[in-house]
Structure 1
């Protein structure tokens, strides 16, 4: 109880620092200056109460939640859905995916008063949190109001688990207030058990990220875009790149152009506030560039397309022959390789893939993922794949097979959610 009180006091004390951080981030993305009231639970006019609240902190989690939200809307058409995020980027992804079909606000900071206001406004029948966002005040208030809390698509890395073990008594009390943790795999599940979760609170459902699908409409758009952009050119994509990776990618592309003069690179930074920065970097390295947002069609002399739009990554993967997935050359932990795999692309990643450890192990074992340590190896692997179409197809086919074999997490999760929701109409 003492540590919980200390946590609350400290969180209130650091609010001025949080405001300064928001203002600092707003220099590159003005959206960080807006909607501050939502961050403190003031959202009565923006939500429809007595439904489902689903929280996804990142863009990746929002993408994984798309099939879940659509299935919930079909199964429980009378229940309103509110989706919460923490960033403008996540907010934009929700709006582009669902429009007016759901309510959307920021999840408030984990302050007692803010959480109470938020729960009074939403009054949910259930709250679902994607992956592992454990906020003590939120968990406590949900438990106090007897609102079921489900952690869906839950994962807990070895690194995070070691950190939590240092405060195991606190974690045990927190975990015991959660209704159900639906873990991605047994390894993650056992880490939660070690921290104090009861086995009756655990379900192993698999990863929702394996339930990604390329719809016929999206596939048709990708084919059309490929014919417009590069009907007779090889294309590789570097997606979700972070600061420190773009230089490596562009330097590798410069070397590859010596062997493949008509090679086109689609470079997609992870964060929208870096779009202009990466475009400027590309130009400074003397590449001929265009931006996706401009609507221009690459000419024969275009060497780089900057993917500076939101919600189009899955489409852009469909234009490429080879994919590098970012966040893996820097110590971020990598991003989701399955979006590329869904298009039957051979996938390349750097050495830092701990965010998707189990998924990457499956892809590597199936010969669908190539891991590279540096720029030299990246150039070598891309060149090898460009030289041999059969080799590309082999890796791409293996990637799709991994998706197919691990499909089904969504149905398992929906089955586990049923006891916590009103009986649906059949």
Structure 2
């Protein structure tokens, strides 16, 4: 009874807030027009041409899409007769889906968790299964799926201590919501414990490992790397410049990186700083920050060869993995503030030494393994901008003078990635348990990609 009341209140509140949600999207679209494109999908109006009766996988943004790539490929192989639909929330996530799967999947924005919108969404697609990822808990949509006997799976489950504390205040709503999932697969034992503490039944939960380890280099990344590499070769007679890449930056990260870079230049004048802002709406702002520091700047969007420019701004989408491959040292943005960092495994896949700030709380288990293998450099506790910059200067200077240490850190990081792969296979096995593969003959289809 408490759950029914809590769900009713949730639905009423979200319905009343609908105009505000739409207004927020429109405001964001002032700097990022893609937010007002396909707005009807956020209300549940998916194209009528989309096939029904398949599997829906929700990947909120770019990082989730990349992490899901291996798993989605396995779904496409094992369920060739079912439509696979991938939903996202952000335009960058949408662009990444298009780039990675190029028409092999259906794609749209997950609707707002409002009763009429989700009702229309489910009516349009009539899925057999919906798969959510990490901490995507949408009580209204999940309740409707359970009522319609749609299989529900939460994969790569992640629940931080902070989120656990917040959700426990809404336990009357969240605990029953969790137990509408047919299975919850978590990233780690710690996350499994948190889901149990929130009220999930033990029989529904299992630690399957972290999908973010199951990354690989595909042909797209190889081709993109070759494309970017051509812009980095200004003169065959000049030695290759050392590239320091600062990836997925947020407000404040660039100030730290630029201060450190200016301090490094007297000793390392040929060092090239590559900045990759996390959000496209900040591209112009970051460009202005560089110019204010009186640094010479090249923009990827201009598609010009890098000569003696000091900073290269990757104001583009879908090129970060290729940029990792071309870098010498990588610093992960979002780790100098309350953001909690971004995935250090992506540069690790390319044998790169990785430096992170003091806050990598989004990747606690991954960081634990990287520390154990001496595969990461962490800056110390939360410090003012100037102190963070000083620490960066010291760490990067040391790496530039110790190429063998660079190599060792990169090799150790890659080892951590390779040793922990396999979560995609375990996740697929759970999908098959819930949604058995039907074939036209007695042979079963391959589990995973054996091609």
**TM-score category, normalised to shorter length:** over 0.9
Aligned-partner SS, 2:414: helix
In terms of mean alpha carbon deviation, does 225-234 or 128-137 score higher?
225-234
Look up the match of 1:120: 123
Structure 2: state its 5+ residue gaps: 234-238, 381-387, 439-443, 446-451
**Is it true that 1:204 corresponds to 2:207 in the alignment?**
yes
- Whether contact under 8 Å (1:184, 1:207) holds in the other structure is yes
Q: Which residue of 2 aligns with 1:64?
A: 67
Structure 1 residues 38, 370: closer, same or farther in 2, change over 3 A? same
Q: TM-score, normalised by structure 2?
A: 0.91
Once the two structures are superposed, residues 208-266 of structure 1 have per-residue CA deviations (whole angstroms, 9 ceiling, x without a partner) of 11111124663475367446515521111000000111111111111111110000011
Corresponding residue of 2:441: none
Q: Is the 8 A contact 2:130 2:150 kept in 1?
A: yes
Paired residue for 1:237? 245
Q: Which residue of structure 2 aligns with residue 340 of structure 1?
A: 347
Q: Distance in 1 between matches of 2:129 and 2:147?
A: 13
User: Compared with structure 1, are the counterparts of its residues 224 and 58 closer, same or farther at alpha carbon in structure 2 (3 Å cutoff)?
Assistant: closer
Confirm whether residue 8 of structure 1 aligns to residue 15 of structure 2.
no
* Aligned with 1:355 (options 358, 362, 370): 362
Say which of 242, 245, 260 aligns to 1:252.
Answer: 260
Give runs of aligned pairs for residues 91-102 of structure 1, distance below 5 A. 91-102=94-105
Find the aligned partners of 1:138 and 1:316 in 2 and give their Cα distance: 38
CA deviations on 1:115-148 (whole Å, 9 max, x unpaired) are: 1110011111111112111011111000001011
Q: Mapping of 1:25-64 within 5 angstroms?
A: 25-45=28-48, 47-64=50-67
| 1:139-154 paired onto structure 2 within 5 Å | 139-154=142-157
The answer on whether the counterparts of 1:48 and 1:82 sit within 8 Å (CA) in structure 2 is no
Distance 2:342 2:404 in 1: 26
> What's the CA shift string for 1:353-389, capped at 9, x where partnerless?
1111111111122111111141111111111111110
- Aligned 1:360-375 pairs, distance under 5 A: 360-373=367-380, 374-375=388-389
1:382 and 1:355 mapped to 2: Cα distance?
Answer: 24
Say whether 1:192 aligns with 2:195. Answer: yes
Report the CA distance shift for 1:244/1:388 in structure 2 as closer, same or farther (over 3 A). same
SS in 1 for 2:155: strand
**1:45 alignment partner, SS class:** coil
Which SS does the other structure have where 1:101 is aligned? Answer: coil
RMSD over aligned Cα, in angstroms? 1.5
Question: 2:163 maps to which residue?
Answer: 160
Q: Which of 396, 400, 416 is residue 386 of structure 1 equivalent to?
A: 400
1:277 paired with 2:291, answer: no
| Corresponding residue of 2:139 | 136
Matching of residue 262 in structure 1 with residue 270 in structure 2: yes
Deviates most, 251-260 or 391-400 = 251-260
Kept in 2, the 8 Å contact 1:46–1:105? The answer is no
**In 2, Cα distance between the equivalents of 1:98 and 1:45?**
21
CA–CA distance in structure 2, aligned partners of residues 346 and 173 of structure 1: 44
Correspondence for 1:420: 434
For the 8 Å contact 2:231–2:303, the answer to whether it is kept is: no
Is the CA contact (8 Å cut-off) linking 2:334 and 2:341 kept in structure 1? yes
**Residue 297, structure 1, aligned to residue 305, structure 2:** yes
Q: State the TM-score, normalizing by the size of structure 1.
A: 0.96
**Following TM superposition, by how much is the alpha carbon of 1:34 offset from its aligned partner in structure 2, in angstroms?**
2.0
Q: Separation in 2 of the partners of 1:62 and 1:356?
A: 17
2:416 is matched with which residue?
A: 402
Provide the C-alpha distance between the structure 2 equivalents of 1:117 and 1:304, rounded to a whole number of angstroms. Answer: 48
Q: CA offset at residue 323 of structure 1?
A: 0.4
